[in-house]
Amino acid sequence: MLETISYLSRGGIVMIPLLLSSIIGLAIIIEKIFTLRRSKILIPEIISVIESISSDKDIRLAQTICERNKGPFANIVLTGLRNQHLGKEEVKELIEDQGRQEVRSLQVGLTSLETIAAVAPLLGLLGTVLGMIKVFNVISAQGAGQANLLAGGISEALITTATGLVIGIPILVAYHYFSKRAESFILDIEKYVTFLLQKMRELDRFPVTTEQE
């Protein structure tokens, strides 16, 4: 442990924002592991009742189940069920509006992950530049014979570069993984909501509207 702290301390002041970014990135990843679980987003109970809708009683049951659950899927379905007295197009617009709001909750933190993945290697590069500046300052002041001082500057440059890459690469992978996972959930939600609207239309839950010229 002490060796690790000593090793990181040789990276210079740039190590501070690098370590902070790694902590923030790790916290977001852990949070996403728990919040982007399939069973938490696509609640099985809601899916089951939507797939088995065959009567008005099932529609009321679906609304009750959605009211008991929290989350983007339940909120979107509930929007459709609570506004079924409107026309089909109006309900679709309300669902789309609610969907755009709920998508944000699925994507919370992903922008931060993307930013950290981009900034961490740049911070590492900054540390490299600062380390090389020290090397050239030593050379200009004392000549190239001060091997210990030169090694310290080069070591700082290499440590920050390596740390920036070690932080940036896995966080970039995590960002793409969670982004694809969120997109997959969004497509699944759209599929089930479309199925729900079809069932509601078959049960004549939407009022009949006539077009007036």
Name the residue among 13, 51, 17 with its Cα closest to residue 156.
13
Render pLDDT for 136-146 as a digit per residue (tens, 0 to 9).
776 666 665 55
Render pLDDT for 160-211 as a digit per residue (tens, 0 to 9).
888 999 999 999 999 999 999 999 999 999 899 888 888 888 877 666 554 4
| 150's tokens | 């030169």
Q: How far apart are the C-alpha atoms of 132 and 142, rounded to whole Å?
A: 15
Q: Dihedral (C-alpha) 193, 194, 198, 200: value to the nearest 10 degrees? A: 20
The owner of tokens 């699925």 is 106
Q: Between 12 and 120, where is the model more confident? A: 120
Residue 78, pLDDT > 70, answer yes
pTM of the model: 0.80
Q: How far apart are the C-alpha atoms of 92 and 62, rounded to whole Å?
A: 18
Render pLDDT for 8-58 as a digit per residue (tens, 0 to 9).
666 678 888 999 999 999 999 999 999 898 888 899 998 998 888 888 888
Q: How far apart are the C-alpha atoms of 156 and 18, rounded to whole Å?
A: 13
Q: How far apart are the C-alpha atoms of 125 and 157, rounded to whole Å?
A: 8
Name the residue among 67, 45, 55, 63 with its Cα closest to residue 203.
55
Residue 212, pLDDT > 50, answer no
Q: How far apart are the C-alpha atoms of 112 and 24, rounded to whole Å?
A: 9
Would you list the domain boundaries of the chain?
A: 15-202
Q: Which amino acid, one-letter code, is at 151?
A: A
